[in-house]
A and B are shown apart, each in its own frame.
Chain A
């Protein structure tokens, strides 16, 4: 079985703020890490490999720094890594990201199963997975919280719905996006780190893709555009209370009584 996992590098400390006076973004700490949800996607693949002879490949679209998370994936036990990188992919929205990834995936080893994380901590849309599936013309199941069975023909999963759990049997190839609760990710292994330190990471650029129309990628391939960014505002009237704990607690109790909450 060939499994492809989509992983993304995200800011380590994701606190970006905006300076209200200058309108500048302030970012503290520009260190980055693997999207935590994608660790669960990798672990899901590794668990499948324990049961069923498999080869696991990861793909990430991003700048060259994203090589770091592919190396990390190697330390977890992933077999092959691909970095999809090109300046032509810059400024991609969900559609252009998913399209580029689907094109990149087609340059990789043939897949039976694609696994995505539930969402990224920076993009936070949970949409890239389903869009990749559409571009590859394969079925997908989102919010998978358990894999009940997998064989060369199909995968049976539990899909988490608000009030129910649906058990779906899907023919391969297909794509799933997994919930955090599906498994507990392992830690990177030092032994694997040494063993894989020389392992190649394949780079895929725009020129390698089947679609050679640059307007389908990056900013040009993005139907949505950011017009403006601004700090959040609030127009609610508000009052601030100060004092010692005793005064404040009492004042709060009185206010709640006055408002008939107690």
Chain B
């Protein structure tokens, strides 16, 4: 081998160990899961003993009303929480992007919910939603109102898990939006003041358009995350009442542990993975497009 080609190989040589670990840690479980989704597999069997059934698990899923409902709940949940969180997070960032005393403390307080373990968040909210001793119903009753069936009525239960998720994850959008806001070119905002823009006009015509690239990435990240939420809902409602809060990851969990259908659970996981992959690819392509655009513009500029 010539020296030149050895030199070219060197970086790959150094990357190889990490690459191997990655391949094993990432691809082995995925391949295992894809293979498992073609089996009729009971947890009491070893994988070799399970019967190969081809695409039967998938066909069964598409015919399964409960799965379809669960998919619907997941999509509805993701759409609702991400929309509310985007509005609140960006709104808070716009509101708190100023230099007044104690603001840094306030900002830190705002991101606290994000740091609490999801199980704890679930437990916390379950106690607060408790029909008799929970703080919400106690307060309502002390004001002379009827208590609300927070977790025992289907529509209220959905709203309740949405509220808990919004409480926990709005800070994520808040900090990313705030970072985006604070890195905006100060002089462009000053120029808009001179040009006569009111505070609202500055937000609508200057700040939001300039934040847009960050907001899109934030939205996608949050969307991906909201498809995978499990613990909070598991602790609060365990998918009930009925199937009203049974999001996909909960259904997968139940299919595997309660119904003892490992193959079917694997098939569901694969479908969820495909949905997430589509979202991730969207993000990837968006980033690529942004980079390409920036590179093209730079090239034009340097030529001039």
User: Do A and B bind?
Assistant: no
Chain A interface (Cβ within 8 Å of chain B)?
A: none
Chain B positions within 8 Å of A, measured between CB atoms, are none
